[in-house]
């Protein structure tokens, strides 16, 4: 446990507390109870002295900061010291309230003698601190003490750890092997069968520990403003490269050196005027590189100023570093090679890559005149709703570019009529009057459209009208959904007749599964042989 050494007086008080607690378990006499009264009084006097000492530490921190060349840089240390003082005062105040409650519930203080009226009272102590259903104040006190220890340790150095102040029997090394006490919780261990003076001394002892923890943390904060000499106790091996990116065939250059820092202080570091977090003595710089004003090589030169402030043997010191770095203009490619045309209302799939950014390539997209559906990794689907589209390409919140696309309407399909054997019907050569028993009308997508947008190039003929014509007279007719059997017409067909075939409608299903009716009319006259 990180903490300050106890004074001989504190050690004496602690020993008295343990001895008297042991004696109390054997026999409670007026003389013994008076010893607990004296012990409690001594603890309260010692706690008052600790308050004065801690106040002096805070004032010493303020004085040291005011004497430094740049007091503002230590404002956070003063604030933390004040917060530590307030945290301890609040916890000590909670314990004072508990002591007053115990005194009041046990009969108060005799105004003539100045002694506790309920000196030997144990039931009232049990009632206040433990309760009939273990709902006494000692249980909420345990939670508050645990929270206090966690909170005050957070203000200290990273290795600062404090023992809990509310131990149960199995957690307390002094009674962990005692069969009578090891199974007791914090409340029962400290306040069961306990007379008023012993309960008050127990609470005062907790206050003493609180002030000791407070003193430890304030001492560590004082070291950060230079009240203690800096000792460099951490050594690092470092490599600094001129560049982390090297083109094949060029030299890689770097310098190796040893760096040292003190774990007892946390230097203040800034980058371009803004503070940066410090871990293990090293400032953590992280920001989004901003481009602009690129040269012919695609590089943008940037400069920075960094500063490190710390307390050296001669007081506060600040070291300033000036440096430069270069931002490479990010580039991307649309894998189609050249900007392809987009089709209106269709799922136009694009793949946009950036070899230079590698794993940092995590683009996002937006568009004017279209809906965009990102699939991750630079893959995006663009669904145009206007005659032109502007696609905005962003990476890491930075706009890399805007690409403009022309938008085409979906090309009309070609409709062909096939006979039952799969042969296309020809108006010149005709077909057999007895052999044609079925027809198939097919809507065939434009090849280039189908290649780029297969999910939108799904067509079918929705209605086909077929009539058997002899001379100028219609013998019979039938309406089909795209295609099907015409056996009813074939039974009456003769050589010299003709089939009048009219395609009246075509439908297209898009990538969303929506069916669109396409106005279409095609007429064919197929002579019968």
* Statement to judge: residues 442 and 473 lie in one domain: yes
* Statement to judge: residues 85 and 50 lie in one domain: yes
Higher pLDDT, 247 or 405: 405
| Residue pair 404/334 in contact by the 8 Å Cβ criterion | no
* Statement to judge: residues 321 and 337 lie in one domain: no
Question: Residue 97: inside a domain, yes or no?
Answer: yes
Residue 337: the pLDDT is 45
Question: Residue 2: inside a domain, yes or no?
Answer: no
Kindly calculate the radius of gyration of the chain based on its CA atoms and give it in whole angstroms: 45
Residue 229: the pLDDT is 47
| DSSP H helical ranges for 305-345 | none
* Statement to judge: residues 125 and 175 lie in one domain: yes
Please say if the pLDDT value at position 329 is more than 80.
Answer: no
Residue 381: the pLDDT is 92
* Statement to judge: residues 316 and 337 lie in one domain: no
Residue 36: the pLDDT is 81
* Statement to judge: residues 280 and 372 lie in one domain: no
What burial class does residue 345 get, using C-beta atoms within 10 Å of its C-beta: 0-12 exposed, 13-18 middle, 19+ buried? buried
Question: Residue 124: inside a domain, yes or no?
Answer: yes
- Which residue among 206, 224, 242 closes a domain? 224
pLDDT digits (tens, 9 = 90+) for 470-489: 998 999 999 998 889 999 99
Mean pLDDT of 91-103: 94
pLDDT digits (tens, 9 = 90+) for 128-156: 999 988 889 999 999 999 999 999 999 99
* Statement to judge: residues 179 and 143 lie in one domain: yes
- Please, which residues have CB within 8 angstroms of residue 172's CB and are 6 or more apart in sequence? 189
Please say if the pLDDT value at position 28 is more than 70.
Answer: no
Of 232-241, 341-350, 383-392, 453-462, least confident by mean pLDDT is: 232-241
Question: Residue 218: inside a domain, yes or no?
Answer: yes
Please say if the pLDDT value at position 506 is more than 70.
Answer: yes
Please say if the pLDDT value at position 7 is more than 90.
Answer: no
Residue 105: the pLDDT is 92
Question: Residue 508: inside a domain, yes or no?
Answer: yes
Higher pLDDT, 119 or 260: 119
- Which residue among 408, 441, 471 closes a domain? 408
* Statement to judge: residues 50 and 140 lie in one domain: yes
Question: Residue 229: inside a domain, yes or no?
Answer: no
Question: Residue 3: inside a domain, yes or no?
Answer: no
Please say if the pLDDT value at position 14 is more than 80.
Answer: no
Higher pLDDT, 301 or 415: 415
The whole model's pTM is what? 0.43
Please say if the pLDDT value at position 42 is more than 60.
Answer: yes
* Statement to judge: residues 267 and 339 lie in one domain: no
Higher pLDDT, 174 or 97: 97
pLDDT digits (tens, 9 = 90+) for 183-205: 999 999 999 888 998 899 999 99
**Number of compact structural domains in the chain:** 4
* Statement to judge: residues 372 and 427 lie in one domain: no
* Statement to judge: residues 362 and 238 lie in one domain: no
Residue 247: the pLDDT is 46
Task: Report the distance separating Cα 382 and Cα 401, nearest Å.
Answer: 16
CATH assignment at residue 346: 2.60.40.10
- Which residue among 376, 408, 440 closes a domain? 408
Residue matched to tokens 């009264």 = 37
- Please, which residues have CB within 8 angstroms of residue 495's CB and are 6 or more apart in sequence? 433, 528, 529
* Statement to judge: residues 21 and 167 lie in one domain: yes
Residue 207: the pLDDT is 94
Q: What percent of the chain has pLDDT over 90?
A: 44
Residue 146: the pLDDT is 95
Instruction: Identify the band that residue 75 occupies on the pLDDT scale cut at 50, 70 and 90.
Output: confident
Task: Report the distance separating Cα 391 and Cα 404, nearest Å.
Answer: 6
Average pLDDT score, the chain: 84
List the domain range (segments joined by +) for residue 401: 333-408
Edge-to-edge strands of the sheet including 398-408? 342-343, 398-408, 388-395, 363-368
Instruction: Identify the band that residue 265 occupies on the pLDDT scale cut at 50, 70 and 90.
Output: low
């Amino acid at each position: 446990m990180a903490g300050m050494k106890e004074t001989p007086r504190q050690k004496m008080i602690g020993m008295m507390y343990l001895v008297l607690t042991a004696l109390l378990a054997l026999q409670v006499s007026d003389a013994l109870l008076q010893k607990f009264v004296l012990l409690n009084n001594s603890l309260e006097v010692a706690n008052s002295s600790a308050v004065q000492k801690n106040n002096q530490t805070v004032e010493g921190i303020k004085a040291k900061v005011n004497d430094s060349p740049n007091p503002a840089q230590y404002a956070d240390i003063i604030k933390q010291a004040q917060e530590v003082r307030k945290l301890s005062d609040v916890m000590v105040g909670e314990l004072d309230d508990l002591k007053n409650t115990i005194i009041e519930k046990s009969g108060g203080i005799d105004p003539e003698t100045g002694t506790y009226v309920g000196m030997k009272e144990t039931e009232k102590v049990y009632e206040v601190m433990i309760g009939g259903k273990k709902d006494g104040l000692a249980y909420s006190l345990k939670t508050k003490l645990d929270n206090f220890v966690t909170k005050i340790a957070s203000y200290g150095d990273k290795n600062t750890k404090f023992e809990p102040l509310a131990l149960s029997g199995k957690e307390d090394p002094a009674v962990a092997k005692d069969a009578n006490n090891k199974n007791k919780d914090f409340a029962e261990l400290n306040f069961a069968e306990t007379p008023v003076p012993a309960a008050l001394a127990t609470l005062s002892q907790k206050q003493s520990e609180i002030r000791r923890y407070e003193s430890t943390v304030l001492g560590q904060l004082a070291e950060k403003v230079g009240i203690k000499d800096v000792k460099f106790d951490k050594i690092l091996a470092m490599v600094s490269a001129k560049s982390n990116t090297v083109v094949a065939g060029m030299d890689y250059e770097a310098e190796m050196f040893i760096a040292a820092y003190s774990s007892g202080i946390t230097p203040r570091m800034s980058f371009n005027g803004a503070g940066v977090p410090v871990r293990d003595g090293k400032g953590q710089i992280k920001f989004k590189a901003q481009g602009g004003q690129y040269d012919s090589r695609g590089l943008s030169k940037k400069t920075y100023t960094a500063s490190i402030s710390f307390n050296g043997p001669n007081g506060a010191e600040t070291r300033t570093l000036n440096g430069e770095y270069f931002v490479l203009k990010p580039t991307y490619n649309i894998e189609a090679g050249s900007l392809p045309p987009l089709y209106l209302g269709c799922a136009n799939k694009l793949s946009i890559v950036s070899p230079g950014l590698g794993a940092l390539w995590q683009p996002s997209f937006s568009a004017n005149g279209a809906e965009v559906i990102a699939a991750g990794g630079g893959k995006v689907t663009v669904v145009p709703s206007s005659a032109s589209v502007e696609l905005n390409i962003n990476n890491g919140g930075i706009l890399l570019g805007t690409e403009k696309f022309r938008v085409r309407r979906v090309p009309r399909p070609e409709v062909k009529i096939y006979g039952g054997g799969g042969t296309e019907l020809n108006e010149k050569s005709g077909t057999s009057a007895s052999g044609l028993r079925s027809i198939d009308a097919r809507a065939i997508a434009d090849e280039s459209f189908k290649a780029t947008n297969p999910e939108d190039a799904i067509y079918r003929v929705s209605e086909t009208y077929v009539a058997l014509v002899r001379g100028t007279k219609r013998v019979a007719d039938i309406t089909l959904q795209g295609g099907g059997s015409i056996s009813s017409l074939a039974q009456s067909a003769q050589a010299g007749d003709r089939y009048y075939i009219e395609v009246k409608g075509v439908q297209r299903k898009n990538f969303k599964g929506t069916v669109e009716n396409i106005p279409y009319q095609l007429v064919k006259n197929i002579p019968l042989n």
